[in-house]
Structure 1
């Protein structure tokens, strides 16, 4: 049964990560049961895990709805998430190994190439390059618990970060900041890497309102 629960859970998480499930979307039990050939129990156990992670809200007899933050919730999550990412950048700067350095550099180069070739288009593709960069930094921190906390928080805001790259200049600005953060990490500048990464993840209230409206 645990294997079936994990199968459904991983499928839902993948849909969130890929953007095929977005904030406010309804997740019904019956389609999941049919798609993955499982009974109602694994699906409900999957929902328990998702609810515990704050990714869904259960609906009586209707399945669940994917978490859609209010303005206050969005700002609160960003406040925590930016601190976590900042901590990861600081730890990466202190603990950086050769393999992680290469992974971070490769991720930054991919972002820069996209920004040079498609500075104002293909936001979804850039978004996945952005995720690759942040994952490389978090991996370099060498703390699996921090890595999981970052992933859990990021999933609550992924759809909005994806939308943010549709704005003019956003891709180029992001790639430029990734280069700065990577340089600080590669130079083992712990405090500045942490500070710049934290600022990189923050949004002002007006921007958050725009992002919330874009997915309303």
Structure 2
């Protein structure tokens, strides 16, 4: 994943470089995957995210789109977590290989990156819930998704406690992973000037996600 401002630097060889970096990072970050997340709670307004129908019925007014607003600082939105907790999913890499297809394994377990603009959910606009493609843990509500123009699905916040942030070894980016299973989602970029409630952009691989419609 790259910052929006640097997308002009992409070339036909960019994904290859991303894969090399991803594999390299996988080895370096392995020791930090056991670090606790900032919050282990995943309830919203007192509801466990496990109650999908109630969660979707209580969606707040969504953010329909985003425009870059230079020089405008946006206050971070705060979310109070309730009593729910993330159920940890621990599997060996051999077990993950039997559960995931090769491309899912490359991205979720080996920290790879899909080609920009090719992901299933890049321009996807249906209402519902985005879950981890590896373990099924709810990660994002559709009302937090916006069009950033970066080439990957973008969200301005995840469900409380569902996303773990870890600085890359080179200190240049912040990786986001599923708190439950440690699956690689992408990276989060902050302070880019998007007119969203948090001024954050969770840049997520479509392959790391699966979508459940609101009426399910």
TM-score in terms of structure 1 length: 0.28
Q: 1 or 2, which has the higher helix percentage?
A: 1
TM-score in terms of structure 2 length: 0.28
Highest CA radius of gyration, 1 or 2? 1
